[in-house]
Amino acid sequence: MSLNESPGMKAFDFDAIQNGNYALGIDHEKVTRETDAVMAQMSLAQKMNEIRGSQPKPIDGLFYAGGDESLGLAPWKMVDGPRGARAGTATAFPVAIARAASFDADLERRVGLAIGREVAARGGNVLLAPTINLLRHPGWGRAQETYSEDPYHTGVMGLAFVCGAQNHVLTSPKHFALNNLENTRFELSAEIDVRSLNEVYLPHFKRCVVEGGAASVMSAYNKVNGVFCGEQPLLLDEILRGDWGFRGFVESDWFLGTRSTAPSLNAGMDIEMPAAFRYADDKLEDALAAGEITEEVIHRSARRSIYQKIAWQLTADSVAGKPRPDPKVVECKEHVALAREAAEKSIVLLKNEADGLQLAAGVGLSIAVVGDLADFENLGDRGSSMVQPTFVSRPLQAIESAAGGATVEYFDSHVDLSRLAEFDVAIVVAGLTYEDEGEFIPTAQAEVEDSSFAKGGDRARLELPLPQRDLIERAIASAKRVVVVLQGGSAIVVRDWVDRVDGLLMAWYGGQEGGFALARVLFGEVSPSGRLPVSIPRDMDQLMPWDVSSLVIEHDLLPGYRWLDQHQQEVEFPFGFGLGYTTFEIQNLGTTRADDKLLCQVDVRNTGLRRGATVVQLYVSCRDSRVFRVEKELKGFGRVELEAGEVISLEFEVRDADLRFYDAGAGGWELEECRYDFRIGQSSGDLPLTAQWQYRNAQWRQG
């Protein structure tokens, strides 16, 4: 098949994503010279000071580290986190997994840009984000902070965030690595083989570092193969610096993130956060005296920090050569509008019986809004990723104001719902809160930081809590039509009631504009276009075993849909799935080779009656490999928004590098000679178009 005539819209525009990323323009030769000159003036004591945080408690949201006025070195001022600046008030964006559901890399770049700008405006210079731990199991308490169960998807979104934010501040992708169970995070060991590590659990970190120039990385609390991540040479030295050429610094995760003095420093964990404990003067001096460390390792870690300070032209009040932005940028109109756009694009329509949605606003309609969560500011987790905006839209008020004269009545979770039959439709807002899932903050840390103590932690089960299920059942029993809006940060099992509701939307934790976004989707101002970044099983038993008290967990090549494919499980809603108020057809797949890539083009047509968007997804299956291969892997996606009847040509580039497997025996990547199927469609469960290519005798040919 020949390629379509028109130049395609790119599914992923790498140049546009990199735009303005300060790290990518650094003159490393110059910085090396200048760093050497500064290092030459430094005493051992000054170097020791450079490799640790300054105090356990943040000041106005800023965690300080290093810095020396006499040398003209400003301190690091680190700020959380993945859904907005945790320093004073800030724009609360939808949580990362919600933004991931947009499958819109440019949107994520712009969100990173806005968060970076707000962090800089609050005086920060390092953004402790993005969280890019792969969602190994949807029960992970911090699922909402990360992007997805797929490494390619996580890599694209993480890269986009890093590139956007690094217009203003350094980023710190975290937690390196395999931090994907919360309750036992301070003790557990993630066991993994070298192939799964490189192919599944690290590629997204690699993208952020190699393609995004992430200037720092935060190590994880947990162990990997029995060794704490903050002292794990395989991760910090061999892979991060050796294989990827990382030039930044590694800081520890916070309390209990640095477990030792010598093993940590020797492995390359550069900066102890949030304060001196293992890297306190006496500990360092003892370790030197005992010959466990050398002055050289202190010098090395201090140098990595100072290298980035010079590279980023850091001063007390500027970073990346830019003066601190006016605090007015915080929650400015533009950022709030972006939070709205992200929330709108994140909402996933999972069920729409008889096309009952969109609702026609106006006097003819009566709506019952049901459930306490409809009148609650449900921003998600209250751990380190918590953000405090000045205003949060709630579903109830947003529906009322968008209803255009329709009757809207509110029923909280505790009242009798038998009157629901009087209304045309009942919108039940159900789901989870920070009490059900989130970061688990130990009491000691909560006290030090004055953060409100959150229950959080992992979810042992994926169903809704009983009172929420009971609410849905009571609504089903009385109402003519029930639309359930789910809030939460990951997969929720809906099997016991989903067949008896008319509509189902996954609204995540939608940030401060989430209520307005929901109302706009319900009334058809926008067609929902979110797609699931996590498979929703019918039953938890379809997934890999999950025990939230595990102290050892095995990792392999099969998280998420890889596992489900392998075990031939029919899920409730597959990875990448989502409906809209219009329909799309994908046709005319054409493929050709260009250098070390395969170019795939398809025509995408809006076949419905209104404007809307879809996400075209490309998966690759390797058919006759000599090693185990999973059934398919996502290798490209592009979000396309079209008017009714409009058609556009969409172009994917699949790099040969992305087709390789990691040959543990040979200790490297191999592009294997075999048949590759390039499969395109609108979800992992719906891939109607396939192009076959063979790679034989180092040549590619179609067929």
Pick out residues in 65-94 that bind ligand BGC (CB under 6 A). Answer: 80-81
The residue among 98 and 615 lying less far from ligand BGC, judged by its C-beta, is: 98
Structure tokens given for 675: 């048949």
Residue 79: CB minimum distance to ligand BGC, A: 9
Q: List the x/- string, 377-406, binding to ligand BGC by CB under 6 A.
A: -------x----------------------
The residue among 383 and 528 lying less far from ligand BGC, judged by its C-beta, is: 383
Is-catalytic flag, 253?
yes
Burial of 628 (0-12, 13-18, 19+ CB in 10 A): exposed
Q: Please give the Cα distance from 462 to 534 (Å, whole number).
A: 13
Collapsed DSSP state (helix, strand, coil) of residue 563:
helix
Residue 462: CB minimum distance to ligand BGC, A: 23
Longest dimension (CA), the chain: 82
Told to check if 251 binds ligand BGC by CB under 6 A, we report: no
Structure tokens given for 327: 């605090």
The residue among 129 and 209 lying less far from ligand BGC, judged by its C-beta, is: 129
Residue 96: CB minimum distance to ligand BGC, A: 12
Instruction: Enumerate residues 6+ apart whose C-beta is below 8 A from 141.
Output: 182, 183, 381, 437, 438, 439, 440, 456, 457, 458, 459
The residue among 178 and 492 lying less far from ligand BGC, judged by its C-beta, is: 178
Pick out residues in 101-140 that bind ligand BGC (CB under 6 A). Answer: 128
The residue among 129 and 493 lying less far from ligand BGC, judged by its C-beta, is: 129
The residue among 83 and 632 lying less far from ligand BGC, judged by its C-beta, is: 83
Angle between helices 151-165 and 105-121 (to 10 degrees): 40
The residue among 135 and 262 lying less far from ligand BGC, judged by its C-beta, is: 135
Task: Give the single-character DSSP code of 366.
Answer: E
Pick out residues in 293-352 that bind ligand BGC (CB under 6 A). Answer: none
Structure tokens given for 187: 């003790």
Which member of 253, 436, 458, 556 is catalytic?
253
Collapsed DSSP state (helix, strand, coil) of residue 675:
strand
The residue among 104 and 439 lying less far from ligand BGC, judged by its C-beta, is: 439
The residue among 186 and 700 lying less far from ligand BGC, judged by its C-beta, is: 186
Q: Which is nearest to 38 in space by CA: 314, 260, 286, 281?
A: 314
Total length of the chain: 703
Which residue matches tokens 């965690």? 63
Instruction: Enumerate residues 6+ apart whose C-beta is below 8 A from 655.
Output: 596, 597
Nearest residue by C-beta to ligand BGC? 384
Residue 80: CB minimum distance to ligand BGC, A: 5
Residue 175: CB minimum distance to ligand BGC, A: 6
Residues paired with 446 in a beta bridge? none
Which of 118, 253, 502, 572: binder of ligand BGC (CB under 6 A)?
253
Which of 76, 147, 152, 254: binder of ligand BGC (CB under 6 A)?
254
**CB distance 456 to 435 below 8 Å:** yes
Residue 234: CB minimum distance to ligand BGC, A: 21
Residue 183: CB minimum distance to ligand BGC, A: 13
Residue 174: CB minimum distance to ligand BGC, A: 6
Residue 454: CB minimum distance to ligand BGC, A: 12
The residue among 130 and 431 lying less far from ligand BGC, judged by its C-beta, is: 130
Instruction: Enumerate residues 6+ apart whose C-beta is below 8 A from 214.
Output: 23, 162, 166, 170, 171, 172, 173, 208, 248
Collapsed DSSP state (helix, strand, coil) of residue 603:
strand
Radius of gyration of the chain (CA): 25
Told to check if 272 binds ligand BGC by CB under 6 A, we report: no
**CB distance 36 to 299 below 8 Å:** no
Provide φ and ψ at 26, rounded to 5°.
-70, 135
Collapsed DSSP state (helix, strand, coil) of residue 372:
helix
Q: Please give the Cα distance from 465 to 470 (Å, whole number).
A: 9
The residue among 174 and 382 lying less far from ligand BGC, judged by its C-beta, is: 174
Residue 190: CB minimum distance to ligand BGC, A: 15
Residue 536: CB minimum distance to ligand BGC, A: 26
Q: How many CA atoms lie within 13 A of 363 on its CB side?
A: 0
Instruction: Note every long-range contact of 643-648, with CB atoms under 8 Å and residues 24 or more positions apart, other chains counting.
Output: 643/606, 643/611, 644/582, 644/606, 644/608, 644/609, 644/610, 644/611, 645/605, 645/606, 645/607, 646/605, 646/606, 647/603, 647/604, 647/605, 647/606, 648/8, 648/9, 648/603, 648/604
Residues paired with 523 in a beta bridge? none
**449-463: b (≥16 Cβ within 10 Å) or e:** bebeebebbbbeebb
Told to check if 174 binds ligand BGC by CB under 6 A, we report: yes
Site size toward ligand BGC, by CB under 6 A: 7
The residue among 81 and 636 lying less far from ligand BGC, judged by its C-beta, is: 81
Question: Positive or negative CA dihedral for 159, 215, 560, 486?
Answer: negative
Q: Please give the Cα distance from 189 to 381 (Å, whole number).
A: 24
Residue 384: CB minimum distance to ligand BGC, A: 3
Active site residues per annotation: 253
Interface with ligand BGC (CB under 6 A): 80-81, 128, 174, 253-254, 384
